[in-house]
């Protein structure tokens, strides 16, 4: 992730793999993966102008990758959950290719939000998302920087 300049360390000498990653930090990574397309933020979205993430958020909103909790609640600094992470990546993948794979459901499928189930099934089938020893994926658990890096690495290997 560092060599591709998709994720930065938390300092010149630390990656801090166990720290959580926010929703907007992950969107910024996807934006970099897309080549940082030149989108100009405007007042027409709920993205605060002048923020470091304004271009990435505008791009993600325009491409239906990032969905807020509601039209007025964006939650950029909220820690991203595993199911949100996979849903955002799934929506990114839909722009770039086929996402119609299926697989056996994880044992905790009932705890996956209905809006995230197609993305979770896709990520499991592609080998992008790994579960625990019993196959559980813990969808509402906060994703760490290390988990994000591992998931993106597997996605890029399959892309």
From residue 76, give the alpha-carbon distance in Å to each of 3, 46, 79, 110. 25, 11, 8, 26
Q: Tokens in use for 87?
A: 């849903």
The pLDDT of 81-95, averaged and rounded, is 91
* Predicted TM-score of the model (pTM): 0.75
Tens-place pLDDT, residues 93-108:
988 776 666 666 778 8
**How many other CB atoms are there within 10 angstroms of residue 89's CB atom?**
26
What's the chain's Rg over C-alpha atoms?
Answer: 15
């Amino acid at each position: 992730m560092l060599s591709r300049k998709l994720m930065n360390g938390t300092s010149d000498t630390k990656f801090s793999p166990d720290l959580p990653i926010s929703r907007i930090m992950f969107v910024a990574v996807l934006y970099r993966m897309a080549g940082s397309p030149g989108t100009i933020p405007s007042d027409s979205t709920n993205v605060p102008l002048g923020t470091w993430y304004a271009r990435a958020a505008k791009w993600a909103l325009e491409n239906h990758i990032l969905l807020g909790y509601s039209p007025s609640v964006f939650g950029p600094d909220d820690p991203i959950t595993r199911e949100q992470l996979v849903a955002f990546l799934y929506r990114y993948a839909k722009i770039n290719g086929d996402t119609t794979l299926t697989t056996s459901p994880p044992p905790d499928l009932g705890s996956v939000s209905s809006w995230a189930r197609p993305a979770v099934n896709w990520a499991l089938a592609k080998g992008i998302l790994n579960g625990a020893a019993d196959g559980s994926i813990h969808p509402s658990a906060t994703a760490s920087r290390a988990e994000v890096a591992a998931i993106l690495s597997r996605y890029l290997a399959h892309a």
